[in-house]
Amino acid sequence: MAAHCTAGLRHDAVGQETLLNLLLRNYLAYNLYDQAEKFRSKAQKADTWRVPGQYCRYLYYLGTIRAIQLEYTEAKEVLQQASRKAPTCAHGFRVACNKWLILVRLLLGEVPERVEFSAPGMRTPLAPYFELTCAVRSGDLAQFRVVSEKFAAAFRADRTTNLITRLQYNVIRTGLRRINLAYSRISLKDVAEKLALPSAVDAEYICAKAIRDGGIDAVLDHAGGFLATRELTDLYSTNEPQAAFHERIAFCLNLHNEAVKAMRFEPDAHKRALAAANGGKEQMSVEEIARAIEEEEEDDM
């Protein structure tokens, strides 16, 4: 911390960036996410990073902090930036970014494509997360538990156990959405059997929460003990197309802003150009004065 303050007093931008990432890594190693966020928000940072590699590391640490703090949308954005800006030779860093990015996308309700897991050099390290994605996509809670126990050691080594624990509700919600699409009316006891839940009471609580969160469009009948699906409405009559279009526009604008910020200019380049322009004007004025003196001498003669 003292070295970081000293680098700030000496205007050592490279030293500040390096020490900031080292301190963030130390906080995250001890699971001190709140302290890491407080330090990151108050630390002095330049608008433009001098070392691209340090900026990638900073984005990765920021993405992990946001994921733990349940801010999945921002975590997805910064992790995607870190993965794209990382050099090709940084294979381990790109693998770590993709692991966190896959879990964040699953928590947001998205399902990564199979191509992302079969990229060069990604098939073996992302194999546990591929099986986890398949379990989440199918909505099979039993398969999800089997995968979680099978690769528990790998998930602990990647420090992603916390996010995987949160995925359990997403698995249940996906399975419940499939049931909602397949059945117009189904008893809560059958819902509990299909989702591998302990009892129909647990199924009723989960269905109620899914309806409240907007995960499924259905009606819960407590007296009759069943779940009834509402009639499907036209998707284009809702605000979902507008929200999707807005998300794409925001992504393009953010990408443009990041590209502008990434452009590097030489320090004091504008001052040298201004000095050269002023020097040319002064030189022209001197020449004009000399020419005027010569014309006056010719007139006198």
Cα–Cα distance between 211 and 270 in angstroms, integer? 59
pLDDT along the chain (301 residues), means of 10: 64 74 84 84 71 84 90 89 84 89 88 84 88 86 87 90 87 82 81 80 82 77 78 71 89 86 66 63 60 68 57
Q: Are 134 and 102 in contact (CB under 8 A)?
A: no
Residue partners of 87: CB distance under 8 A and separation at least 6: 52, 53
| Residue 196, pLDDT score | 76
> Within 10 Å of residue 116's Cβ, how many Cβ atoms?
16
Q: Are 126 and 117 in contact (CB under 8 A)?
A: yes
pTM: 0.69
Q: Are 22 and 16 in contact (CB under 8 A)?
A: no
| Residue 48, pLDDT score | 67
Widest Cα–Cα separation across the chain: 121
| Residue 4, pLDDT score | 63
User: Each residue of 40-58: b (16+ CB within 10 Å) or e?
Assistant: beebeeeeebeeebbbbbb
| Residue 83, pLDDT score | 87
Cα–Cα distance between 30 and 33 in angstroms, integer? 8
